Amino acid sequence: MTPAAASRPQGWMVRDFAASIVVFLVAMPLCMGIAIASGVPPEKGLVTGIIGGLVVGLFAGSPLQVSGPAAGLAVIVFELVRDHGLSALGPILVLAGAFQLAAGIFKLGGWFRAISPAVVHGMLAGIGALIVVGQFHTLFDAKPLSNGLANLAAVPGRVLGLDPTNMSSTEIALGIGLFTIVLMVGWEKLRPAALKLVPGALIGVVGATLVAWFASLGVVRVSVPESIAAAVTVPGASFLSPLADPALILSAVAIAFIASAETLLSAAAVDRMHDGVRTDYNKELRAQGIGNLLCGAAGALPMTGVIVRSSANVQAGATSRWSAVLHGVWILGFVALLPWLLREIPMAALGGVLVVTGARLISLKHVTHLFSHYGVLPALIWVATFVLVVTTDLLTGVLAGIALSLVELAPHVRRLNLKVATAHNDERSHVSLDGAATFLSVPKLNKTLDALPEGKPLTLVLHKVPAIDHSCAELLREWLGRQRKRGVDVTLLGSPKHLERLAA
């Protein structure tokens, strides 16, 4: 028996089986809804979910992370499909997957963690806002418009165009969408403890579908093919020809970059939820690269590691990668055997799920946390990234956020090369830092901390650190929190300012 197998709790097969059912129930409505938000048929999202489970689940460097279509890429995919057509998405994903695979092979995974948390969370908040204003129109059985500002400008017209005295398909669809939202949010607030693992998205979609079916409501339903094989587009001889356009190569780079950053940040969040095997970031990148190569070849959506499904997996008691793999089996079986059931789901119900999902990405708590603990500049980075993602495009917002992050380096330009020294004796380990601890230091610092003897008392010396930026501070705070949760004795030595920041 392997050490990993020996360390699993008894009954791990039952736990993973049960967790896979929970993840499957969470994933089904999200896979279809994210596909619709991306401007592609819902079955494309299901194919990505299947590949994310059956393939990426087997090779993932984060065993408890679940991969599939992500809301974080919905906006960029929507714009690509709008401007270049669905046929261009496949080759772009193949190239993006190749970039990720190469990044994993050359061990670049740790560098994605160096991206400022302010940039990542500002990006996710901007994406959430775009999803909300876009899917607002889906609640009316209408298609989202070409960009976020157009969607926002059209909101008053949608609302003022309602006629409560004439319940046409538009008013009925809105009622179904709002009913979905009420069920979803209400269930998550009021569900009994015995049913805490039943996802609110499932309750919302099932409830809305039953109402629409029993009342024979004339609303737009989800359209899926008779066979899942029909959702797979086999590459032809001219499959890669769209890549002759340099703009599409840039899009592939953007997808690879954003998908990798989102995946590895999600993996880091999953690691904080359990005490099992830590993420191998390079292995995870390689698995994601393989997954996106296959998604591109199949004409499906891009994938990332996704935090909602991953947290459901951990909370449901999963102990190994087999839970993620099995959830892909259940999606495949459901789509292959019960496509007629999917065709009864109202589009407005999936729009309701995505409105809630998008709203939850807009975390104002994060920007207030940045401002109160780290000052104006990190909060400004968040705001600038958010505003530019909403008003221009995803890539512009992210690049602007990264550019602003470089401003944080200016006061410490002479001491950017952080030196990390480790020493061990029989009783404890000692880690001494010398230099400015900035986001550039995150990969080196993270590697050092992960290599420390597990469970051994530690002294962390910060006397020679003139400054700790919010990226390094967040890394150290999370790492220290995990050690203390495990009962490890950790002593911090340094200025009161640094000790206060790491204890915040």
Beta-carbon neighbour count of residue 429 at 10 Å? 16
What value does the mean pLDDT take over residues 144-162? Answer: 86
What value does the mean pLDDT take over residues 325-337? Answer: 95
In the block, tokens 């590949």 appear at: 51
Which is higher by pLDDT, 7 or 220?
A: 220
Q: Is the pLDDT score of 7 beyond 60?
A: no
Q: Is the pLDDT score of 224 beyond 70?
A: yes
Q: How confident is the model at residue 11 (pLDDT cuts 50, 70, 90)?
A: low
Q: How far apart are CA 270 and CA 13, in angstroms?
A: 20
Q: How far apart are CA 191 and CA 176, in angstroms?
A: 21
What value does the mean pLDDT take over residues 383-409? Answer: 90
Distances (CA, A) of 375 to 188, 235, 380, 503: 34, 51, 9, 16
Which is higher by pLDDT, 214 or 152?
A: 214
In the block, tokens 């209408």 appear at: 142
Q: Is the pLDDT score of 486 beyond 90?
A: no
What value does the mean pLDDT take over residues 299-328? Answer: 92
Which of helix, strand or coil describes residue 423? strand
Q: Is the pLDDT score of 208 beyond 60?
A: yes
Q: 155: Cβ–Cβ under 8 A, 6 or more apart, which residues?
A: 133, 136
Check residue 398 and give its pLDDT. 87
What is the rounded (10 degree) CA torsion for 219, 390, 45, 346?
-10
Q: How far apart are CA 33 and CA 45, in angstroms?
A: 8
Q: What backbone torsions phi and psi does residue 233 show, to the nearest 5 degrees?
A: -95, 115
In this structure, what DSSP letter does residue 52 have?
I
Nearest alpha carbon to residue 454 among 420, 490, 419: 490
Q: Is the pLDDT score of 80 beyond 70?
A: yes
Check residue 8 and give its pLDDT. 52
Check residue 1 and give its pLDDT. 43
334: exposed, middle or buried (C-beta count within 10 Å: 0-12, 13-18, 19+)?
A: middle
Domain with CATH 3.30.750.24 in the chain: 414-503
Among 2-16, 230-244, 305-319, 437-451, where is mean pLDDT lowest?
A: 2-16
Which of helix, strand or coil describes residue 224? coil
Distances (CA, A) of 214 to 19, 182, 338, 339, 366: 31, 19, 19, 19, 43
Can you spell out the DSSP letters for 361-406?
Answer: H--HHHHHHHHHHH-HHHHHHHHHHHHHHHHT-HHHHHHHHHHHHH
Which of helix, strand or coil describes residue 214? helix
Beta-carbon neighbour count of residue 232 at 10 Å? 16
Q: How far apart are CA 501 and CA 472, in angstroms?
A: 11
Q: How confident is the model at residue 395 (pLDDT cuts 50, 70, 90)?
A: confident
DSSP-derived pairing of the beta strands 458-464 and 429-434:
parallel
Check residue 253 and give its pLDDT. 94
In this structure, what DSSP letter does residue 468 have?
B
Check residue 273 and give its pLDDT. 78
In the block, tokens 């891009």 appear at: 302
Among 47-61, 94-108, 378-392, 477-491, where is mean pLDDT lowest?
A: 477-491
Q: Which tokens belong to 147?
A: 């960009």
283: exposed, middle or buried (C-beta count within 10 Å: 0-12, 13-18, 19+)?
A: middle
Determine what percent of the chain is predicted with pLDDT higher than 70: 98
Can you spell out the DSSP letters for 104-118?
Answer: HHTT-HHHHTTS-HH
Tens digits of residue pLDDT in 272-286: 778 778 889 999 999
Asked whether 493 and 462 are in contact (CB, 8 A), the reply is yes
Count CA atoms within 13 Å of residue 328 on its CB side: 22
Q: Is the pLDDT score of 9 beyond 70?
A: no
Q: 275: Cβ–Cβ under 8 A, 6 or more apart, which residues?
A: 486
Nearest alpha carbon to residue 24 among 243, 454, 306, 323: 323
Domain 414-503, CATH class in plain words: alpha beta
What value does the mean pLDDT take over residues 6-27? Answer: 78
Asked whether 267 and 94 are in contact (CB, 8 A), the reply is no
Determine what percent of the chain is predicted with pLDDT higher than 90: 54
Q: Which tokens belong to 384?
A: 């600038």
Q: How far apart are CA 361 and CA 63, in angstroms?
A: 24
Q: How far apart are CA 484 and CA 446, in angstroms?
A: 17
Nearest alpha carbon to residue 66 among 78, 53, 75: 53
Handedness of CA 198, 29, 51, 145 (dihedral sign): negative
The one-letter amino acid at 259 = A
Tens digits of residue pLDDT in 114-123: 888 898 889 8
The one-letter amino acid at 398 = V
Furthest-apart CA atoms within the chain: distance in Å: 80
Check residue 20 and give its pLDDT. 94
Check residue 431 and give its pLDDT. 95
Q: How confident is the model at residue 363 (pLDDT cuts 50, 70, 90)?
A: confident
Check residue 2 and give its pLDDT. 46
Q: How far apart are CA 109 and CA 279, in angstroms?
A: 11
- Rounded to the nearest integer, the mean pLDDT of the chain is 89
DSSP-derived pairing of the beta strands 419-424 and 66-68:
unpaired
Cα–chain-centroid distance for residue 169? 34
What value does the mean pLDDT take over residues 222-236? Answer: 86
Check residue 160 and give its pLDDT. 86
Cα–chain-centroid distance for residue 12? 26
Nearest alpha carbon to residue 31 among 290, 248, 334, 294: 334
